[in-house]
Amino acid sequence: MTKREKKEFIWGVVFVFPWMIGLALFYFYPILTSLYYSFTRYTIISAPKWVGLLNYKWLLTDNIFWTSVENTLYFMVIGVPLTQITALVIAYMFYYVRKSKTLGFLKVFYLFPVLVPGVILAIVWNLMLNSQYGVFNFFLHLLGINGPNWLESTYWTKPAIVLVGLWYIGMSMIIYIAALNDVPKELYEVADLDGAKWWTKLSQITIPMISPAVLFNIITGMISIIQLFDLPYILTSGGPNYSSYTWAMQIYDNAFTYMNMGYASASAWLLFLITFALTVLIFILSKNKIYYGGEE
């Protein structure tokens, strides 16, 4: 390193140092201490007592924990593909009418739910999904369908929460619209010259070209769903009969309701490891399927 490079490096460190302190204090320190607490019996008030792997052993034999994992997996496996496909379809529709300013303006309405705090949306949806007086069952009744007990039935609570989640497609939709606008038009012109049908253009040009955006939305959608808390907490409190009880709620209850911080930390670390493993798996599975324009 030359003298000048060394000087520049030192000044760089000086400028990022305050941020690094914050990161260390409010990010790495809590993460590492939670790892330590996961091996202890800890109620916050008394000093942590080392119990080794006992919290993890309790977790793996706790059927409420496994129910929360199953529910979270349901939301991930059903919710993520459904929301991404819906967002992509709507984004494609807006891309198709991109030349019309009036129709293009309608994008804004899909963003409104993203701007409203989740708790407020959940309260509004609680009223809309009321099985006797809610708007949803009113319209279903007009179609001659006997609407389900959305939030009281153990069978319907999860589909109800997935339905509410569809309101949040605004951000994914915007990312897809940006990706669609970035597809070189020459590719479509060449495909038209070759007589390609719309399905061929969609599957051989559009989808591959927007694949990085799809990957990004799937990973962020998965991470967001795996931490799902506010919607089921407000709508159903995790019930009935734990049918909508998520992993994040299990961590919250153990930490702040039952004051079992060590057990909650162990659950949180398992959640982190699973999220990390799933993210790595997605990257591996998508390795040859994602087209990066800048690749050599």
Contacts to other proteins by CB under 8 A: 41, 43-46, 49, 58, 62, 64, 130-133, 149-154, 237, 239-242, 253, 256-260, 263
Q: What is the H or E stretch that residue 49 is in?
A: strand 49-50
Query: In this complex, which beta carbon is closest to other proteins, that of residue 44 or of residue 89?
Result: 44
At closest approach, how far in Å is the CB of 89 from other proteins? Answer: 31
Q: Which is nearer to other proteins, 41 or 107 (CB)?
A: 41
∠ CA 48-49-50, nearest 5°, is 115
Query: SS3 for 210?
Result: coil
Q: What are 49's strand-pairing partners?
A: 41
Retrieve residue 207's tokens.
């989808």
Tally of CB atoms within 10 A around 188: 14
**What would you measure as the largest C-alpha separation in the chain, in angstroms?**
80
Minimum CB separation of residue 256 from other proteins in Å reads 5
Shortest CB 36 distance to other proteins, Å:
15
Looking at beta carbons only, is 54 or 219 nearer to other proteins?
54
Give 58 or 92: the residue with its C-beta nearer to other proteins: 58
Nearer to other proteins, 103 or 127 (CB): 127
Classify each residue of 48-58 as buried b or exposed e, where b means 16 or more C-beta atoms within 10 Å of its C-beta.
beebeeebbeb
In the complex, the smallest distance separating the C-beta of residue 51 from other proteins, rounded to whole angstroms, is 9
Q: Give min distance, CB of 208 to other proteins, in A.
A: 46
Find the shortest distance in angstroms from Cβ 283 to other proteins: 36
What b/e string do you get for 222-233 counting C-beta neighbours within 10 Å, with b at 16 or more? bebbbebeebbb
Q: Give 133 or 198: the residue with its C-beta nearer to other proteins.
A: 133
Residue 48: φ, ψ to 5°: -65, 140
